């Protein structure tokens, strides 16, 4: 499995998202089986958030992992309103309880809110010192916010989790180079645009010429750059298996050129988009 460094540690470049998981009883068994199959296949980074199903996704992950928790690099995210010195410890503790673990491998600020960044940095560092989290990072922060974060003492930030896929190439203009230069890993969320990208006819045509599925091409494309992790959410074992093959798919220069022609690079700066 291709890896990406987070805080000097190598983690799987293909992980598993969990937004919308744990919310429907009829899908529960399939979602648990998918997460477990993913870990077995090497998709050992799992991303979640206190927001997802109001804790239901974290509870599902806790149930799915049980004794295999130590094989996983577990990522969760705090609401911006909880990212203060006073509130972050309790939010983290609640996530740990739902996940059935004693530490998070990575804790992210879900998006920027009104708590000053320097206060969030302090709160994250305190959790790290207490052994509750191993690394911390952010999500949905654009290049200007990232520069401000570093100015605010956030030099230990390891990751920016952002919307990035073939339809959303804006970050290539300035944010990805900025992060790359500083060794801050990128976690690309909604890498198949919540499933909508998979119906794109042009992507379908290109995938057919490569002998791969649209999902495999979309994910391999996201992971083509050093330092970028893709975290697709797959609720079935079949989708997990299909996606796993993307980590071994190397796109040729011709494949990349065809994708560039169909999904052009940004010509100028575009504000970071969010889903």
Minimum distance from residue 183 beta carbon to ligand NAP (Å): 20
Cβ-closest residue to ligand NAP? 17
Q: Which of 52, 107, 164, 189 is catalytic?
A: 52
Residue placing its CB nearer to ligand NAP in the complex, 4 or 130: 4
Residue placing its CB nearer to ligand NAP in the complex, 69 or 233: 233
Cα atoms found within 13 Å of the Cα of residue 269, Cβ hemisphere only: 8
Minimum distance from residue 7 beta carbon to ligand NAP (Å): 18
Among the listed residues 194, 179, 161, the one whose alpha carbon sits nearest the alpha carbon of residue 20: 194
Is 52 an annotated catalytic residue? yes
d(CA 95, CA 117): 21
Residue placing its CB nearer to ligand NAP in the complex, 108 or 258: 108
Minimum distance from residue 45 beta carbon to ligand NAP (Å): 10
Residue placing its CB nearer to ligand NAP in the complex, 2 or 257: 2
Using CA atoms, how far residue 47 sits from 76, 146, 167, 189, in Å, is 6, 21, 22, 9
Minimum distance from residue 30 beta carbon to ligand NAP (Å): 8
Q: Which residues of this protein are in contact with ligand NAP, per CB under 6 A?
A: 17-19, 47, 110, 139-140, 161, 189-195, 198, 215, 231-236, 239, 242-243, 275
* Contact between residue 8 and residue 16 where contact means Cβ atoms under 8 Å apart: no
* φ, ψ (nearest 5 deg) of residue 69: -55, -40
Minimum distance from residue 97 beta carbon to ligand NAP (Å): 20
Residue placing its CB nearer to ligand NAP in the complex, 84 or 139: 139
Residues annotated catalytic, as ranges? 52
């Amino acid at each position: 499995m291709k890896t990406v460094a987070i805080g000097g540690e190598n983690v799987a470049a293909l992980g598993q998202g969990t937004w919308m998981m744990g919310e429907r009883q009829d899908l529960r068994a399939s979602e648990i089986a998918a997460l477990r199959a993913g870990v077995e296949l090497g998709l050992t980074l799992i991303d979640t958030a206190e927001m997802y199903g109001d804790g239901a996704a974290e509870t599902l992950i806790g149930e799915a992992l049980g004794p295999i928790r130590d094989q996983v690099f577990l990522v969760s995210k705090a609401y911006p309103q909880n990212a203060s010195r006073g509130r972050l410890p309790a939010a983290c503790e609640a996530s740990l309880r739902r996940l059935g673990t004693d530490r998070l491998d990575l804790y992210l600020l879900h998006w920027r809110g009104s708590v000053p960044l320097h206060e969030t940095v302090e709160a994250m560092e305190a959790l790290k010192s207490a052994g509750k989290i191993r690394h911390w990072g952010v999500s949905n922060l654009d290049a200007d916010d990232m520069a401000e974060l570093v100015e605010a003492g956030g030099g230990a930030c390891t990751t920016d989790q952002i919307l990035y896929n073939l339809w959303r190439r804006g970050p290539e203009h300035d944010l990805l180079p900025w992060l790359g230069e500083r060794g801050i890993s990128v976690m690309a969320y909604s890498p198949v645009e919540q499933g909508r990208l998979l119906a794109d006819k042009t992507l379908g045509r290109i995938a057919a010429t490569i002998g791969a599925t649209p999902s495999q091409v979309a994910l391999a494309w996201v992971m083509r750059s050093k330092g970028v992790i893709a975290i697709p959410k797959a609720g079935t074992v079949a989708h997990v298996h299909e996606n796993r093959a993307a980590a071994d798919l190397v796109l040729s220069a011709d494949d990349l050129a065809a994708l560039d022609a169909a999904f052009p690079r940004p010509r100028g700066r575009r504000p970071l988009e969010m889903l």
